[in-house]
Amino acid sequence: SGLSAQRIGSALSLATFGGLIGSLVPVILQARLGHAWPVLVAAFVMLGSLYLLHVSDSQLIYALGTGGFCFGWYMLYPYQLSA
């Protein structure tokens, strides 16, 4: 990504807030939408985030990519465990 270790560390620490918000989504949705839709949404969020990480040339894009990936992962994980 061409960023310094300090900037990457800052982006990763901020990404935990994306994970926190993502982990609240299953609590709010519960089983209202079933399992398929939240899993698909989380998968597409993670794919988009991986693309952002691939093309990141600034700290903002890198932070959005890591935050989005954490959001998607922590949103997906409870649905994986309950399947």
Residues 6+ apart with CB under 8 A from 1: 8, 53, 56, 57, 62
In tens, the pLDDT along 53-79 reads 999 888 999 999 999 999 999 999 988
Contact yes or no for 75/41 (Cβ under 8 A): yes
In tens, the pLDDT along 6-52 reads 988 988 898 999 889 999 998 888 878 888 899 999 999 999 999 99
3-state secondary structure of 23: helix
